[in-house]
Every structure is written in C-alpha cells, then in structure tokens.
Structure 1
Amino acid sequence: MSQRDVTIAAYYFPNYHVDPRNEQWHGEAWTEWELVKRAESRFEGHLQPRVPLDGYLDEADPEVMAGKIAMATEYGVDAFLFDWYWYDGRPYLQRPLEAAFMPNAVAGDMKFALMWANHHWSNIHPWKSATPATQLESGTVDAGQFEAATDYIIERYFGHPAYLRIDGDPYLSIYELATLVEGLGGVDAAKAALDGLRKRAARAGFPDIHLNAVARERQVLPDDGVSLDGPSLISRLGFDSVTSYVWVHHHPMPTLLTPYADMLEQAADGWKRYAADYEQPYYPNITVGWDSSPRTVQSDRYNPALGYPHTNIISDASPEQFGRALEQVREFVEQTNVPLVTINAWNEWTEGSYLEPDTLHRHGHLEQIRRVFGTKAR
C-alpha cells in the first residue's frame, strides 16, 4: 500500500465495558451495548437494529483491544482519539485505554491521543420523552481541577511511546471551549490555565504540546455549552489547530432521512470555509453516519421535534458514500498539507457513526480507507 504523511485518526467512545459509575446509574454489569441490542426500526426506511459483526465485545479486555488495534492498522486507521472524561476529581471510562490499549500499543504501530470530552454527562442512556435530561456529572472544572486533570494527562499519557505527536509535540484536543472558559472564570483565566499547562508539560520533559480545539456551530447534546465566537476565541486561547467531532455539529439535517451525499456537500464546503476562517490549520473531519435513535426509549414515538436523541438521521451512509467523502478529503489534504484527518468514529454505535464492522456493511467502511489512503509503511 502507498505510504502517506497524513495520519488517519478515529474518535473512540469508550462506553462498551463495565464501569462502576455506570453500574450505579444503570445497574450491575451495564454497558452501552444494552442500547444497541434493544434498538428497533422506528419508521419506514429506518435501518435498525445494527448488529456488530464480531459480537458485543468487552473493550476493556486486552485481547479484545489487541484485535481492534490489528484491524485498525490493517485497514489504514493510524490512531484512536479516545474520548476522555474527568468528573468529580477523577477520570471516567478510562479503563479500555489504560488497561487494554496502552499495554498493547507499546510494541505496535497504533497511536493514541486524548480528546478531552469536557461536556456535562446526562442521563440519555436512554432518554425518556417528556422528561428532563438529568445531569449526572458536570464537565465544568475550576482552576484546581483543571490542573489536577492535566497533571494526570501529562504523567499518565504523554510519555507513552504510542502517544500521538504533531511535529514532535503531544496532541491534546479539547471538546467544549465554552464549558472550559466558564469553569475557569473567563477567557483570560482560561488562557492562563492553558499557558500553565504548557509550562507544566515543559517541566515534565515535553518542550511543547499541540493543543487542538474542537469547533462546533450547532447544539447537539442537551447540555452542550453555548457557542462562542469560534475563530476569535480559539486564537485568544492560543490553540495550535482546529478540527471537528462530527458533521452534525456544523450542518443541518433538514429531513428525517437526510441523504449522506447532501451532508458531504455541506461538509466539503465547510472544510474550505474553516481553513479560511481560522488562523490555525483546520484538520478536516469525516463522519461515517448519524442515527442517535438507540438512545431513545424504544416504545416512545420517534419525534425529531423533541431534539437529541430524537434527531433526524443521515440516510444512505454506505461504504460507497463514505469512500466519496474520503476522496474529497484526500484532495483537501493534498491542497493544504495538513497532517491529520479525524473520523467520527471508530465505535459510536448508539449515534450510528462507526467504522467497526457490522452485519450490514461488514468491513466496507474500513476497506474504503485502505482504498483511498492506503496504509502507512510499518
């Protein structure tokens, strides 16, 4: 396969293993696989349930994670960007990364980095219509908690030989800037906290870090922070690059079944617009699909007017359509020379955006990555 300089990085959502806090909220041995198993077709043309080809595996099992790493590298996914959480003074959902991925990646070619998902955690697993979305954990951190969380990141992750670096600097992405700024007490205080992070990282042996901001123009989750002036804010805070998490953070889905081709057209125009609007390089994002209906109570009437997780859905999210998106993003990369492409996602099963093989498309989406980008020389 062809060698290429760009890194293909897929977001990884680690909620498919047993976690003590989930057990407190949902019962013994609960994982988000429970929602995947119970998903139903809610209207004509709705492709549910989605069934994982390899079964409902425990991602915190090192052998299972070794299989994921082998599959990813075989098809040209170079890195996992783990959704990483810090609530109430300690990490959450970290076990697949720390106990399964990191030991396997020591001798392998797979990289990883963190996307600090600092949004509030709500009880939407599943969400019952006509009831308020209860906030279970707050994503807001004050200066002390910011320092504690980032010290944990520096000490636990940055020095790992498989940690992803951009121009030699550890890559750290932050999901919700509005929540960050609110918790730290304003833009100037947030800038001081980020500068302090860089200084503490330098004292730990990392001359600099690569701070990436996740851009968002539309609210999706019930507790998404209020959008601020993106380009100006990101520059004031001193970020080094910008990317996205998922297309629906930017682009509307006007119909219940919105064709993938229509979303791709909006996304490709967006990559160019963001490259022009931001002072920092924009790392383009590709989304595999979108269907958050598994996070609704299946006996409720499906009604997009209620908002997330009752949203419109991306239809025709086939491997062929995904391949066209990859071809267009490859052209963007060739024009801009950006070093990273983000994909949503490796395993967002309950939002309908995953590369992992299912019984419908099997390895089709992964095969498109290998066809368009090849694999890096190992």
Structure 2
Amino acid sequence: MKPSQTICAFVLAILTVSSCGGDDGLRSAEIVEESPYRIGVYYYPWYGGDFHGGRYMRARLVPPQYPTLGEYDDREAGVVSQHLAWSRQAHISLWVASWWGPDKREDRTLLQSVLPHPELADINIALFYETTGRTRSFSSFDAVGPDIAYMAQHYFNHPNYLKIDGKPVLFVYLTRVLSRNGTLGEVVEAMRASAAQAGHELYLIGDEVFGQPPNSSNALGLLDAVTNYDVYGSMGAKGYAGQGAVDRYYRAQAQWRTLAHEAGAAFVPAATPGFNDKGVRDGHEATSRKLDSDAEYGSLFRAMLEQAIEHTDDATGNMLLITSWNEWHEDTQIEPVGEAPPTYVDDSDSGEAFSEGLSYEGYGERYLEILREAAVR
C-alpha cells in the first residue's frame, strides 16, 4: 500500500470501530483524567498528499517509517478528525498553527478545513506568525499591519480561537531576531495598533527565549509572554543529549522565567522529543530521541516534560508548548508513526547519512502516551 493511501484504510478502520461500539483502540482518546496544564503543540497545516516530496528523514530509512495516516493531505476531514482525537488522548488542548499570510495554503487549510470541523469542540487554535516569510527575512514590515487586520476579520472572533484575559493570542516566531535588530518595538506597535482598530487587544507571545539569558532585556516588556520554539538549538545537545544537557537547559529556562516576570511578562516552557532535519538540509547534527545509548526510546521527551511542567505560569493557564505536532521535516513531531522495529540504516550511499548512525523506531503512539502521563502528574 502506498503511504498516501494509508489514510483511506485508517479512516475506514475508525468508522468500523465506532459502528461496532468497541471500547478499545481509538476510543482510548476519551480520557477520564483532567490535566491542570494547557498543553499546546506547533501544528503545520501545509501537507498535501506528497508530503513536500517526501523530504523528511523517516522516509529515507530502510524500511521507511511513514506517518500512521500515511503521507496525508491535511485538508481531508478524516485527517483533521484523527489529529483532534489523538490530541485529546494526550491532553493537548491547543494547536499553534503556522501561518504564512492571507490565502496561503496554511491559511486556506485553517479556514476551510480546521476551524469549520464539526469535531473541533474544546480544542483551541492560535496563529504562529511566521516572521521570516511575512517580513522578507526581517527587512520589511509593511505587511504586518494588514496581516493583523486580516486575522482580526477571519480568526479572532471565532469561538475556538485562543484568548487569554479576553485577548486573542498571537504567537510570533523569532522575536529574538527582531530584538537583536532593534525592530521589535516597531513590529509590536504595528500589531497592537492594527488589532485595536479592529476592536481587539492582542496578547503577544514571542519566541524570545534562546540559550543563556542576558542580564536584562528591554524586549521582554514589549510582550505579554515569552517562549522558546527552537528547543534543539537552545539546548545545544548533539547525538545523545544526556540528563546533564536537559538539566542545564531548564536551569537557563528558569532564569529566563525570572527575567520575564521582572519585566511583567509571563513565561511558557517548552519541550521537544528530538531533532533531525537531514531530510531537508545539512549543517545540523541530529539529537536522538533517547537520552543516552542505553536509554529507552522517548526518554529525552520524558525527561524534558518532567522539568518543563515545573515552569508553567498561572497567567497563561499553565501553558506548556511542544515542538512539535507534525514538523516532519525536522523530526520533532509527536504525531504517531506506523509501528516498526528500530533501524539506523537509510537509503544514502553510506547507509547512515540521514540517520547519522542513530537508531529510530516506528514509535506508534509512544509520544502521546508519554505526554498524557506527564499532563496528569
């Protein structure tokens, strides 16, 4: 069966389970426990049936490890339905959706397939403003005001759009670059002014946290909250991270949190299961999903979650962000993969150019279960 066809069989299986009244399998998404955390995932609504030409590391493994749903088209109602069910299974209540501009594919997918979906129910949506695309790599800010006006018209009034203290929440990618360039104030002012003209007061969460914190930062006070999208780069661990790297990362995160509070901003901690972007680019060494060579698969994610939940803030509803739900190109996804034995062999000439000699398993729903356990701890 071709990976793009798997979704058809999978959705049929879902319908069969439901019609038979079974209580197992996908019905496990009906979780009894409640979580004290608002768990969000970075969600990428940009996949057509070819998965961008199969440019992700797991497609190059031998044998390949495809998404459980196959190389899906995320506009299909069955795909959205299963993503929602899996999210509830793992206590995920927020999708922070990548947004590249009006009428782009991501925008159309959200407006036509996600927000109108009849099973959206209690799942919140918020936009992740992709500054690299909307500011011409931080060189022009003419689109910022019109973009916010568009969001106000098409998103902010939707009942499922995330609001904090009645304010629509907008996540902004790489505000730390804007800060470094001295242009964050200009961009934030344009965003807030455009939202105000449409009758909204924005709650801005900036991707401001990275590495070790400075002694002080004027940028933090411009934002309502701050977080760290690039956990991989910030942690700086290659191969097997080890517990020491995780400990150092969250010590730095705790210092960032203190700095944010001093500036009047909230803090949103982050976690990731691993990283490998060899399917799309060179230059970054992979980080295994195992804490060390003898550890179990998923141990890095488990170790990160154990500390991340200690740094949530009441002001954000104890929000915790996961990089990511489905950024398959960088292998940060927790979305289920078809179950398969571990392998480090790939289809490159050397047999390890994509895996870098690290072992990868077809992990099934492992990361949903790890997250579910952490969310009710």
Which of 204, 209, 217 in structure 1 is aligned with 2:210?
217
Which of 294, 298, 317 in structure 1 is aligned with 2:279?
294
Does the CA contact (< 8 Å) of 1:355 and 1:366 recur in 2? yes
Which of 88, 94, 101 in structure 2 is aligned with 1:73?
88
Select the structure with the greater relative contact order (CA < 8 A; seq sep ≥ 6). Answer: 1
Matched, 1:351 2:330: yes
Match of 1:35 in 2: 55
Does the CA contact (< 8 Å) of 1:291 and 1:352 recur in 2? yes
Match of 2:288 in 1: 314
Alpha-carbon distance in 1 for matches of 2:37, 2:118: 20
The 3 A distance-change label for structure 1 pair 264 and 240 is same
Matched-pair identity in %: 20
Match of 2:259 in 1: 277
Query: 1:107 Cα deviation (Å)?
Result: 5.3
Per the normalisation by structure 2, the TM-score is 0.73
Aligned partner of residue 116 in structure 2, secondary structure: helix
Match of 2:236 in 1: 252
Q: Which runs of 5+ in 1 are unaligned?
A: 19-29, 42-46, 122-136, 219-226, 297-305
Does the CA contact (< 8 Å) of 1:17 and 1:58 recur in 2? yes
The 3 A distance-change label for structure 1 pair 231 and 52 is same
Aligned pairs (5 A) from 1:355-370: 355-358=334-337, 359=339, 360-370=362-372
The 3 A distance-change label for structure 1 pair 260 and 337 is farther
Aligned partner of residue 271 in structure 2, secondary structure: strand
Does the CA contact (< 8 Å) of 2:44 and 2:326 recur in 1? yes
Query: 1:100 Cα deviation (Å)?
Result: 1.5
The 3 A distance-change label for structure 1 pair 321 and 191 is closer
Does the CA contact (< 8 Å) of 1:90 and 1:149 recur in 2? no
Alpha-carbon distance in 2 for matches of 1:197, 1:153: 10
Which of 127, 131, 135 in structure 2 is aligned with 1:118?
131
Does the CA contact (< 8 Å) of 2:224 and 2:266 recur in 1? yes
The 3 A distance-change label for structure 1 pair 334 and 161 is closer
Does the CA contact (< 8 Å) of 1:140 and 1:182 recur in 2? no
Which of 52, 66, 72 in structure 2 is aligned with 1:57?
72
Residue identity in the other structure for 2:143: Q
Match of 1:192 in 2: 189
Alpha-carbon distance in 2 for matches of 1:242, 1:152: 24
The 3 A distance-change label for structure 1 pair 93 and 287 is same
Which of 265, 284, 298 in structure 1 is aligned with 2:247?
265
Match of 1:231 in 2: 217
Alpha-carbon distance in 1 for matches of 2:301, 2:208: 22
The 3 A distance-change label for structure 1 pair 167 and 274 is same
Alpha-carbon distance in 1 for matches of 2:129, 2:323: 15
Query: 1:192 Cα deviation (Å)?
Result: 3.0
Aligned partner of residue 100 in structure 2, secondary structure: strand
Does the CA contact (< 8 Å) of 2:232 and 2:274 recur in 1? no
Query: 1:179 Cα deviation (Å)?
Result: 5.8
Match of 2:149 in 1: 151
CA-atom RMSD, angstroms?
Answer: 3.3
Query: 1:188 Cα deviation (Å)?
Result: 4.8
Aligned length: 314
Does the CA contact (< 8 Å) of 1:326 and 1:372 recur in 2? yes
Match of 1:85 in 2: 100
Does the CA contact (< 8 Å) of 2:69 and 2:79 recur in 1? no
Alpha-carbon distance in 2 for matches of 1:271, 1:335: 17
Does the CA contact (< 8 Å) of 1:119 and 1:140 recur in 2? yes
The 3 A distance-change label for structure 1 pair 154 and 354 is same
The 3 A distance-change label for structure 1 pair 249 and 90 is farther
Aligned partner of residue 158 in structure 1, secondary structure: coil
The 3 A distance-change label for structure 1 pair 186 and 264 is closer
Per the normalisation by structure 1, the TM-score is 0.73
Does the CA contact (< 8 Å) of 1:8 and 1:76 recur in 2? yes
The 3 A distance-change label for structure 1 pair 231 and 13 is farther
Query: 1:369 Cα deviation (Å)?
Result: 1.7
Residue identity in the other structure for 2:55: L
Alpha-carbon distance in 1 for matches of 2:216, 2:77: 39
Query: 1:209 Cα deviation (Å)?
Result: 2.0
Query: 1:68 Cα deviation (Å)?
Result: 0.8
Q: Deviations over 1:244-276 (max 9, x none)?
A: 1131231212x4x13353442233212211112
